[in-house]
Chain A
Amino acid sequence: MGMLRVISKRGDDRVQWNAQDAQSGDTEALAAIREAERIFAEERARGATAYRVEAGKPVERLEQFDRTAEQIIMVPKVVGG
């Protein structure tokens, strides 16, 4: 399972997908991935940064949506205070 989490004032908004089901052509899984991709692109356009966060692995910054990621966390635009 993959999960996109978008940090916001509500805590975080989540979208989940099943990459294996999508690979076998499951329409619901494909729709979930499309939705996650759409949110990813929308948040990036708003200045958010995406990170791949997986247990036991170093945090990695993502420029493109990766359906194979276990967890992607999107951080809203940050500025020096």
Chain B
Amino acid sequence: MNMEMLLYLMLGILVVLYLVWIWKLSFHSFLKWSEANQRANELLRSVLSSEQYDQLTRNGYLDIPSPSDPVCIYRVPRVQGLVKVIEQGRHKESLCLQAQEAVPDADHVLIHKLMIEANEQIYLQTANRLALVGSGDFLF
């Protein structure tokens, strides 16, 4: 075995070790994120009524009635995204609000629910409001 072959062999071993290390890191992160999602789902399920949880899993969103306005509901998506404000069945505006640290999707739904139900005014003051124009253009 000459020097050049030995060099290639060592390089190959280093590449394989690096790939194994990357794979282990990714797999570990995936496991942790998966466990976090499971815990967040359990917490959300314990807080929602069975009807609310059914709506969330079936339709992909949770409707939260406004505590102050009987014709207004907040439609919170199951995955993180804009919350629709619906008044008398009409999409009036969208709200954007997010936690400063990354949290699982189910925790996001819970955060919206708690904020709306405990203090709607602070929720509306904190969220960025995107008013709809016509058939869906945004007016910032």
Contact = CB atoms under 8 A, between A and B. Distances in A.
Interface of A: 5, 7-12, 47, 49, 51, 53, 58-61, 73, 75-81
- SS class, residues of chain B in contact with chain A: helix
Given A10-B32, A51-B114, A77-B101, 20 more contacts: A5-B43, A7-B40, A7-B111, A8-B103, A9-B101, A10-B36, A11-B35, A11-B37, A11-B38, A11-B104, A53-B47, A58-B117, A58-B118, A61-B119, A73-B43, A78-B99, A79-B98, A80-B97, A80-B128, A81-B127
Interface in B56-93: none
- Contact residues on B (Cβ < 8 Å of other chain), bracket: 20 to 34
Contact of B40 (A11, A58, A79): A11
A80 B97 CA distance: 4
A44 B94 CA distance: 28
A81 B114 contact: no
